Amino acid sequence: MDSMNRKQFLALAALAGMAAPGCLEAKGSSRKVIVVGAGMAGLVAATRLKQAGMEVEILEAGNRVGGRMWTDTSLGMALDLGAAWVHGAGEKNPLTSLVKKLSIPVLETDADSLALYSDGEEISDELYEEIDENTEDLYSSGRNLKRRARLNDTMEEVLEEMPDDLSKTVRQGVRWNFASDVEIELSADARELSLKYWDEDYAFDGPEWLLKTGFVAVARHLAQGLMIRTNTTVSRIRKTANQVEVHTNAGQLQADFVVVTCSVGVLQSGAIRFEPGLSQERQEALSRIKMGTMKKIALSFPRAFWPSVHRMGDLRDGPTLEFWNLQPLTGKPALVALTQGAFARELERGHEKGAKEVAMEHLRSMFGKVPDPIGMIRTKWHSDPLFRGSYSIVASGSSIGDFETMAEQDDDRVFLAGEACNARYPGTLHGAYLSGVSVAKSILELV
């Protein structure tokens, strides 16, 4: 471009409503919505807005739809690397009817179907009982502490309530339960998690479902009929007099409304520049919420060498791995180990062998001589610049009020949505779904 630089050309082209070379074609509707991100919240919001007659386009930086719904099939089975469970698959959960409508076969998991090992032997019934009683005692001391907790207090304080006189195995068992119920569940270490807001989110009643097809089936269904541009990274969102400019690696678009559904980690990284910036309240809330890290290490084997329970673990000091048996779900001899927080981030930084070796070391300690895995996948949500973690957590120093602030729409053209914009069900797929419904409603009220 000789006489005009590219920026000037883009500005002129936008004014004239024409498409510049390398610029996305902006369709001329006066009621256009651009949705940033093709995860659950973006897909649901776009569907609702389109159904209401608006022109909707989704811009997705990745090369696939689904975001944190991501099913891998490279091990010859459908494995969800991101969200896997419909938590509380009762009538009130919007995902329940969706899964039923799509006739997706499910496996109802049973957390009580558990085998814990110590020094290569499954622990006795008496030990299970003693561990469970002491775990309940620990949680009830924790609830007492929570009543008088301050904003910066962490869940580490609950662990400090563990009595000194427990036997080594019982102490390790209580620690394992705590890791599974709290730390892996919330994808963060006790020292990162708020004590004051522990268990303040809501949950739907109902069973826990894993989908035999993986969540890809849900993502694909939601994406049907929507205009989605993949490999399109949004870097700047600028409000002009009565439109919003969206700048991407593939050019610039204009819309009347923009919905940004990127994770808290992405928003915190400054990958998208907002002009003008987000409100002070939102920026402050955003700076206090944190992203957790959940890591999955999936291993397939020539044969199953473990019992036909749903979950398993080795009682030891140090980081916890919770193994889920994938055989009832996939029909294949495979396990997935879950771990979280600082250890998960450390494994992400290390070599692939690190994660495999850690998982195999636990399995050898539980079952003795075991065959080598024939396949492995491990996730890296924390180091992925499109996510920067697994899901938002109420970190010490933050509060449920911060999630309420994220959910409150305080602008009439630039909107936020996604799992962290739901104060009742943060960090979940159904929270992201409901946030998508809610943001669409907010926009439709304005038109």
Ligand X SMILES: Cc1cc2nc3c(=O)[nH]c(=O)nc-3n(C[C@H](O)[C@H](O)[C@H](O)COP(=O)(O)OP(=O)(O)OC[C@H]3O[C@@H](n4cnc5c(N)ncnc54)[C@H](O)[C@@H]3O)c2cc1C
Min separation Cβ 216 and ligand X, Å: 12
Cα–Cα distance, 185 to 190 (Å, whole number): 11
- Total chain residues near ligand X (CB under 6 A): 42
Q: Which is nearer to ligand X, 118 or 320 (CB)?
A: 320
Min separation Cβ 164 and ligand X, Å: 35
| Residues 249-308 contacting ligand X, CB under 6 A | 261-263, 266, 271-272, 294, 296
Q: Which is nearer to ligand X, 175 or 378 (CB)?
A: 378
Would you give the DSSP letter of residue 57?
Answer: E
Does the protein bind ligand X through residue 386 (CB under 6 A)? Answer: yes
Answer for the pair 425, 184: CB distance below 8 angstroms, yes or no.
no
Helix axis angle, 216-223 relative to 40-51, nearest 10°?
A: 30
Helices and strands per DSSP (H, E), number in the chain: 15, 23
Concatenated DSSP letters of 284-314: HHHHH-EE--EEEEEEE-SS--S-S-SEEEE
For ligand X, the binding residue among 259, 429, 434, 440 (CB under 6 A) is: 429
| Residues 24-43 contacting ligand X, CB under 6 A | 36-42
Min separation Cβ 338 and ligand X, Å: 8
Cα–Cα distance, 408 to 359 (Å, whole number): 42
**Per-position b or e across 203-222, b if 16+ CB within 10 A of its CB:** ebebbbbbbbbbbbbbbbeb
Would you give the DSSP letter of residue 25?
Answer: P
Min separation Cβ 444 and ligand X, Å: 19
Q: Which is nearer to ligand X, 67 or 214 (CB)?
A: 67
- φ, ψ at 172 (rounded to 5°): -65, -35
| Residues 44-73 contacting ligand X, CB under 6 A | 59-62, 67-69
Please give the structure tokens belonging to residue 2: 């000789």
For ligand X, the binding residue among 75, 149, 195, 234 (CB under 6 A) is: 234
Q: Which is nearer to ligand X, 39 or 373 (CB)?
A: 39
Q: Which is nearer to ligand X, 149 or 228 (CB)?
A: 228
Specify the stretch interacting with ligand X by CB under 6 A; choose among 25-33, 122-130, 250-258, 422-430: 422-430
Peptide bond into 276 cis (omega under 30): yes
Q: Which residues bind ligand X (CB under 6 A)?
A: 36-42, 59-62, 67-69, 82-85, 87, 233-234, 261-263, 266, 271-272, 294, 296, 379, 381, 386-387, 390-391, 418-419, 427-430, 432
